[in-house]
C-alpha cells in the first residue's frame, strides 16, 4: 500500500535562497518557494500504513530549519569562512551573509536533487518503522519541476 502527501496542497513548503556555482544562470544568487512531497510504501497495521499527521509534523520540523535561509552546501567547491558573518567565495564571486540567515547542509550543491536527498536522510530515521518498505521525498523548485530521492528497506 502506498500513501502520498502533496507538499503544495498540505503547505509543506519553504522559501530559501541559493546558487549553483557550476551552472551559468543558476550561479547567480536567487530563491525559490519549494514544496516537499512524500510517498511511503508499506504494510498496513491497524488499517493504516502510517498516520499522516506524524509524517507532516516531521517534514515541517525539517523545513523549519531551511525556511527563509540561504542554503550553503559544505561538501562542494565553495570556500566558506564562518564567523559572525559568513563569507562564501567561488570562481571570483564573493558573498557575505549574516550567520543567522544561513543554513549549512552537508551536500555538494544546493540543487533540488541534493536537497531532496538531504531531507530524505533526516526524515527516514524518524519514520523508519518495520512496516515501512519505501520512502520517497520530492522537492519542487516551483510547480511542475523537481527531484525525487528514494530509500528502500
CA torsion sign, 9 to 15 to 21 to 24? positive
Q: How many residues does the chain have?
A: 153
Place of cell 520530492: 138
The residue among 91, 114, 127, 132 whose CA lies nearest residue 18 is: 114
The residues that bridge with 51 in the sheet, in sequence order, are none
The residues assigned a catalytic role are 26, 68, 141
20 close to 108: Cβ distance less than 8 angstroms: no
Place of cell 523549519: 64
How wide is the angle at C-alpha 102 spanned by C-alphas 87 and 122, nearest 5°?
130
Phi/psi region, residue 14 (left: phi>0; alpha: psi -120 to 50; beta: rest), is beta
Amino acid at each position: 500500500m502506498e500513501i502520498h502527501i502533496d507538499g503544495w496542497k498540505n503547505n509543506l513548503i519553504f522559501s530559501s535562497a541559493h546558487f549553483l556555482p557550476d551552472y551559468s544562470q543558476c550561479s547567480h544568487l536567487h530563491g525559490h518557494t519549494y514544496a516537499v512531497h512524500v510517498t511511503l510504501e508499506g504494510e498496513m497495521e491497524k488499517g493504516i500504513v502510517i498516520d499522516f499527521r506524524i509524517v507532516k509534523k516531521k517534514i515541517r520540523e525539517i523545513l523549519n530549519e531551511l525556511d527563509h535561509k540561504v542554503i550553503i552546501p559544505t561538501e562542494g567547491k565553495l570556500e566558506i569562512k564562518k564567523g559572525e558573518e559568513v563569507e562564501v567565495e567561488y570562481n571570483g564571486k564573493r558573498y557575505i551573509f549574516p550567520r543567522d540567515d544561513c543554513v549549512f547542509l552537508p551536500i555538494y550543491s544546493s540543487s533540488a536533487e541534493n536537497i531532496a536527498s538531504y531531507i530524505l536522510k533526516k526524515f527516514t530515521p524518524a519514520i523508519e518503522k518495520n512496516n515501512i518498505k519505501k520512502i520517497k521525498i520530492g522537492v519542487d523548485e516551483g510547480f511542475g519541476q523537481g527531484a525525487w530521492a528514494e530509500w528502500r528497506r
